[in-house]
Amino acid sequence: MLDWLRAGTPPQPGVHVVLGSAIDAPVQPGQQEALFGCGCFWGAEKGFWRLPGVVTTAVGYAGGAADHPSYEQVCSGRTGHAEVVRVVWDPSTIGFSDLLKLFWECHDPTQGDRQGNDCGSQYRSTIYADDSSLIELATASAKAYQELLSAAGFPAITTEIRQGVPFFAAESYHQQYLAKPGSRPYCSAMPTKVPLGRFEGCTYKLPSQVWTHYDWSVSHCVLRGENAPIAI
């Protein structure tokens, strides 16, 4: 992990800059995957790749009508795609509930077609998965989180939860952007500061100390954390 940076050599094409795994590898037996949209995908991806048990991540586009869109096309707002992070994980180490906890807490899912200063449908909040059991768990978590947000004075969650949505990888320069030398430190996420507790069907697997590495009281907090995965 990050050996290329210490050695002063460029990362290999198609290899995760931080995790060293193939970013486009198909899901292997015993693994699971889902797509998460929570604003600009640069900062969102870093939040996910740091979690123990995550095998690989990649940023891309999903939820729209155009096949293999470019970044410029998605930014035009005419494709209907959202910026998303593909996450593949080992469920023996990390549960989907843990990923949902990060997802809900790392951004404001009530902002509709925007996140922070970034405006447009491409920045909307989304959860996409092929596995129906993951969709059910995501829906249950949304219901529980809505109750917590409402109690804190937030409006309705606008997160789009859908099954069977294709993923189109973004251009290589977007992949693990915040881990690359010379990258512009940018993250649009605006956390609500409302933690997700337990919800129907949830099974948290990560130890509580993992969450001390994320300070949601500070906007854009992923920019302040290390790039390396959190050790447990």
The structure's pTM equals 0.94
Q: How do residues 178-197 score in pLDDT, each as one tens digit?
A: 998 878 777 778 899 999 99
The pLDDT confidence band at residue 220, using thresholds 50, 70 and 90, is: low
d(CA 186, CA 166): 27
Average pLDDT over residues 60-87: 96
Q: How do residues 147-166 score in pLDDT, each as one tens digit?
A: 999 999 999 999 999 999 99
When mean pLDDT is compared across 8-22, 25-39, 132-146, the lowest value belongs to 8-22
Selected catalytic residue, list 38, 40, 106, 187: 40
Options 3.40.50.150, 3.30.1060.10, 1.10.1670.10, 1.10.510.10; CATH of 3-215: 3.30.1060.10
The pLDDT confidence band at residue 216, using thresholds 50, 70 and 90, is: confident
d(CA 163, CA 50): 25
Mean pLDDT of the chain: 92
pLDDT of residue 78: 94
Which residue's structure tokens are 């990362």?
Answer: 11
- pLDDT at residue 224 above 80? no
pLDDT of residue 7: 47
The encoded tokens of residue 216 equal 């949601």
pLDDT of residue 155: 98
The encoded tokens of residue 49 equal 């790749």
User: What contacts 107, CB < 8 A, 6 or more positions away?
Assistant: 38, 39, 44, 115, 125, 189, 190, 191
Q: Would you list the domain boundaries of the chain?
A: 3-215
Pick from 154, 164, 161, 143: which is nearest to 38 by CA? 161
Q: Is 52 left (phi over 0), alpha (psi -120 to 50) or beta?
A: beta
The pLDDT confidence band at residue 117, using thresholds 50, 70 and 90, is: confident
* H or E segment and range at residue 148: helix 132-151
- pLDDT at residue 3 above 90? no
Q: Which CA distances in Å does 24 have to 13, 43, 146? A: 11, 19, 33
Q: How do residues 18-46 score in pLDDT, each as one tens digit?
A: 999 999 989 999 999 999 999 999 999 99
State in Å, rounded, how far the first CA of the chain is from the last one.
16
pLDDT of residue 221: 67
Average pLDDT over residues 72-79: 96
* Strand segments (E) across 105-156: 114-115, 118-119, 125-129
Handedness of CA 56, 62, 63, 68 (dihedral sign): negative
d(CA 232, CA 65): 41
202 is catalytic: no
Average pLDDT over residues 94-118: 95
